[in-house]
Structure 1
Amino acid sequence: MDFITDPFFYALAIPAVLIAGVSKSGFGGGLGVMAVPLMALAVSPQVAAAIMLPILCLMDLANVWAYRKRWDRRNMLILVPAALAGILIGTLTFSYLSVAAVKLIIALIAIIFTLDHWLRGKNAGDTPKQSTWGKGTVLGGLAGFTSFVAHAGGPPVSMFLLPQRMDKSVFVGTTVMFFIVVNYVKLIPYWFLGQFNPSNLGTAALLIPVALFGTWLGLWAHDKVNVTLFYRICYGLLFLTGVKLFWDAVAHFIGSGSI
């Protein structure tokens, strides 16, 4: 089996995959967006994304069974068609994409959304809001596009679902059902774009035990956290994700001399 042998890569990849597993199965996937940026410190972002996709698909299978009866169908009907369109746009523009620019867009949206929630106060922030087709189409399309580029679809989905203040299990279950569709659809363009070479697939196989342990740990943590703390954690993770992506994007632009 062919695989990456660099120890520095695994020093980054193991915690990255563990964080992704815990985040996806326990808290809706917000912090899982950090996996590709972390791994990209040792390999190219394209290689990191190719390694992560089969791992994410495996996590999705485990999570679907756990949340198979706990997800919101209306939100899926709003988000999924838009996300498929976003994946198509990502596929067609693959050769022209600036990953740093996409990260910057996601970062700004995530940070502004979270700060708005916090600054408006607890009572306003805790009032459930009805999902709308317009907002869902925009954020669903953005989620599909950014998920294709860097598996960074979590923040846009969280921005759409969190204001609805749904039951925490339904919230996570809806993200699980959304991403099993998105990630398995992404397998097709990734394959045709040559992302799945023997080294990437072999490396992904080595990381599978870490992914399964992270998934189990997230499911365990989900049942131990109360609703109020759960939403505080989710908004906190979303903000940290935005800060991390913003830092990555600015560092890239500075390093390349773009600013």
Structure 2
Amino acid sequence: MPLDLTFFLAAIPAVILVGLSKGGFGGAFALMGVPILALVVDPLQAAAIFLPILIVMDIVALWAWRNDNDRRTLLILLPGGIVGIALGWATSAYVSPNVLKFVIAVSTILFAARYFYQAWWPHAGGEAPPLPHRPVRATLWGTLSGYASFVAHAGGPPFQIYVLPLKLDPRAYTGASVRFFALVNAIKLIPYFALGALDAENLVASATLFPVALVATMLGAWIIRNLKTEVFYPLTYGLALVTGLKLLWDSLA
């Protein structure tokens, strides 16, 4: 794989989009990264190149959001996330990523559409009140998030389906999200190394993109810190809807 102009013309925009997402700007941008990079390299190689970049982005995001978190949300979702990664490793040879993307896409589209219906449609009763934590649902969506993250790099929508209805403070939401996916990505390194996906060639390609990852992640964090709550949630639900449509397109295409 030559690291030529063609590679960087695809890789730099892809990393910028994922970096904005990792900084807290929503999962829709993150889903664009691997498909854009896959225009110039094999899709599996694109996913492998991105994992070390995601780790670097996670470190930056953890520093940027070091003072913001919702500890209970993180702790209630993390066990399911770990189980999901283990299931993904055990069944990756048997489950089609496209089937998983389709299921997540439909769930996310319905989830986001319900929010906009309640918020904007006349006589719909307005926005729903915040929901309490529900351990069974947290385990279900946490497991699906970990599984989707391992199999298809699409763990964001299941996380959002559980966490957004809690209506946390935007900073607490972003801090919990950053910590959850930082831990998920760190754990994913083990099976990725075991599967031989992180070879020297892919690691060199990842390293050349680290500076872009750093800048993009900090920019995403800065944008989110300056958003008001009344803007944050409609924007986040809107990006979730875009994410669902993107996953639906990928699964059907």
Q: TM-score, normalised by structure 1?
A: 0.91
Q: Secondary structure of 2:75's match?
A: helix
What does residue 113 of structure 2 align with?
115
> What is the percentage of aligned positions where both structures have the same residue?
43
| Equivalent position SS for 2:93 | helix
Find out whether 1:171 has 2:173 as its counterpart: yes
Residue 98 of structure 1 pairs with residue 96 of structure 2: yes
- The one-letter code of the counterpart of 1:148 is F
Counterpart selection for 1:67 from 65, 73, 77: 65
Deviation at 1:194, TM superposition (A): 0.3
> 1:30: Cα distance to partner?
4.4
Aligned ranges 1:1-259 → 2 under 5 Å: 4-5=2-3, 7-122=5-120, 124-125=126-127, 127-251=129-253
Cα offset, 1:82, TM superposition: 0.5
Quick check: 61-70 or 167-176, which moved more? 61-70
RMSD: 1.6
Give the Å deviation of 1:219. Answer: 1.6
Shift of 1:77: 1.7
Contact 1:125–1:163 at 8 Å: present in 2 too? no
| Structure 2 unmatched ranges of 5 or more | none
CA distance in 2, matches of 1:92, 1:119: 39
202-211 or 125-134, which moves further after superposition? 125-134
Return 33-42 or 200-209, whichever deviates more.
33-42
The count of corresponding residues between Structure 1 and Structure 2 is 249
Q: What are the superposed Cα offsets for residues 69-109 of structure 1, whole Å, 9 maximum, x if unpaired?
A: 21111111211110111000100112223121121122111
* Correspondence for 1:256: none
Point out the more displaced range, 119-128 or 159-168: 119-128
4+ residue stretches of structure 1 with deviation over 6 A? none
Contact 2:118 / 2:128 at 8 angstroms: preserved in 1?
no
Asked if the contact 1:28–1:158 (Cα under 8 Å) also holds between the matched residues in 2, the reply is: no
2:55 is aligned with what amino acid?
Answer: C
Aligned position for 1:257: none
Q: Which sections of structure 1, spanning at least 5 residues, go unmatched? A: 252-259
Contact 1:146 1:153 in 2 (8 A): yes
Query: Match for 1:95: what amino acid?
Result: A
Query: Match for 1:178: what amino acid?
Result: F
**Contact 2:27/2:243 (8 A) holds in 1:** no
1:6 CA displacement? 5.2
- Which of 101-110 and 34-43 deviates more? 34-43
